[in-house]
Amino acid sequence: MKFLPIALILLFSLSMVFGEEKSVDVTETQIKSIPKSWFPSVDGIFTKGEFIDLSTTQGGRLYIRYGPISDSGVELERVDGAGKVIWRYQVAPLGVSHSKYNHRVWTRIEDKKIQVTSIGAKTIIETIDLDTGTKVSRSIHETQR
């Protein structure tokens, strides 16, 4: 019976170390500064929607939205575990006429940075900070076909 309290303390300690989800603090100013969504709905044809489930240490989900047949730019939206929007970021489009090309988007997260590669009339590579939703870098290159 002496081992039961020790086992319970050990289990509690391990759950605090490995099972804890970190919450992201969002200020009132950040909520007011979240831009309106470019894509209020996703139909899978004119607007594609994808998401990445974030790890338990980050919590929530990262949504990716874009138009696959137009120069729509790319919208990223991070939500917490309850579905509350933490930030929304929009990768600016190039300004090319509608339906001039197929628009392909790849998104990768590494070292708390999101790299968005948007391939259309040109290739845009933009890096965004995962925690804050702010731009780290942007480059535009000729698209290799």
Q: pTM here? A: 0.73
Predicted confidence band at 57 (pLDDT cuts at 50, 70, 90)?
low
d(CA 17, CA 46): 44
pLDDT tens-digit profile of 9-40?
433 333 333 333 344 454 444 455 898 988 88
Q: Where are the alpha helices (DSSP H) in the chain?
A: 3-18, 28-32
Show the domain range for 107.
Answer: 26-142
In a domain, 8, yes or no: no
In a domain, 65, yes or no: yes
Structurally, how many domains does the chain consist of?
Answer: 1
In a domain, 114, yes or no: yes
In a domain, 128, yes or no: yes
Predicted confidence band at 6 (pLDDT cuts at 50, 70, 90)?
very low
In a domain, 19, yes or no: no
Average pLDDT value for the chain = 79
Of residues 17 and 116, more confidently modeled: 116
